[in-house]
Amino acid sequence: MRKKSAGSRVIVIGELNIDAVVSGLSTIPKLGEEILASEFQLALGSASAIFACGLAKLGHEVTFISMVGADDFGDYCLAALREAGVSTRQVTQDKNLKTGVTISLSTRKDRALVTYPGAIAAMGPEQVKRSALEGHRHLHMTSYFLQTRMQRSFPQLFREARALGLSTSFDPNSDPSHLWHDSIREVFAFTDLLFLNETEALQLTRTRNAGAAAKALSKEVPCAVIKLGARGAVAIKDGQISAAPGFKVSPKDTTGAGDSFAAGFVSAYLQERPMAECLRAANACGALSTLQLGGTAGQPTGKVLKKFLAGASAPEGVAAQDSSRQGCMRSHKPSS
């Protein structure tokens, strides 16, 4: 049994679905055309679940609150969470709903996602009781724009968590409309750690570079973390900017790497590590996650992470990080 970190119980409230990962594409397909893939795999999906699994593998006790359909995909999600060590006692299965599905189409350089929300859009605040937050140290929420019924409850949940003494982290993920309405700032008011990739940060702050975005975000949250793809990541806390470069790996699939990044950062943050160490651990977790298909198969345990950070090479078969779900890796170009 994996040893859990004392005093670091984390609760994750969010969406849950499977990922159908198609990789090795030479290009993203066009309508009316057919192309071939080199690999395909069903895997646990959703930013919330990938984050939860990443933390559990690092030794944290994690509670997950979500909703899926009473179907084969829902059963698959629950089994995968339990295997990673995540508590699913508060995940509801509804026979009237279908479990959501994301189809991930990956090339060497990027990927495209197609999502059927299913139960994701059906989950509402009635699924979460205030008492569920008690006994935890930290609350994490993500996928703000997918969880349409939960959106208005994000600020209240964060407020209640803060009142109970929990720290909070928020990764909104991208806004499909690119408008970033001010309502999201109601969540920022109760957020300790804010995660964004570079594109999201620039859109949200209407700035032209990550440094300016970080300074703007520091006026809204105590700590903002911006993921910069191959250039690593930057964080600003108490007016001080910290940066860390990405790790060189040969990525196999970048699905969910930004969520693994966030898990690594939160884990180090809960251990009260300096910002530079939080960023380095986050970059490593994101990098290692890309060495396997799907968002969770390549996530490191605490032991693997420690060895990797000490200078050892990545585990065989393991890979590196996500640019759209926030990546911090450097990829080796294929040899000619």
pLDDT in tens, 221-262: 999 999 997 788 999 999 999 999 999 888 887 888 999 999
Q: Let me know if residue 152 belongs to a domain.
A: yes
Number of structural domains found in the chain: 1
pLDDT in tens, 186-228: 999 999 999 999 999 999 999 999 999 999 999 999 999 999 9
Q: Let me know if residue 223 belongs to a domain.
A: yes
Q: Let me know if residue 127 belongs to a domain.
A: yes
Q: Which domain holds residue 250?
A: 10-27+37-331
Q: Which of 90-104, 190-204, 261-275, 318-332 has the lowest mean pLDDT?
A: 318-332
Q: Let me know if residue 3 belongs to a domain.
A: no
AA identity, residue 135:
G
Q: Let me know if residue 32 belongs to a domain.
A: no
pLDDT in tens, 141-182: 999 999 999 999 999 999 999 999 999 999 999 998 889 999
What's residue 334's pLDDT? 31
239 C-beta neighbours (distance < 10 Å), count: 8
Q: Let me know if residue 336 belongs to a domain.
A: no
What's residue 322's pLDDT? 37
Beta-ladder partners of 113: 104
CA end-to-end span of the chain: 45
- The CATH number linked to 151 is 3.40.1190.20
Q: Let me know if residue 231 belongs to a domain.
A: yes
Give the span between the Cα atoms of 249 and 320, in whole angstroms. Answer: 6
- Helix, strand, coil distribution of the chain in percent, nearest 5: 35, 25, 40
Q: Let me know if residue 236 belongs to a domain.
A: yes
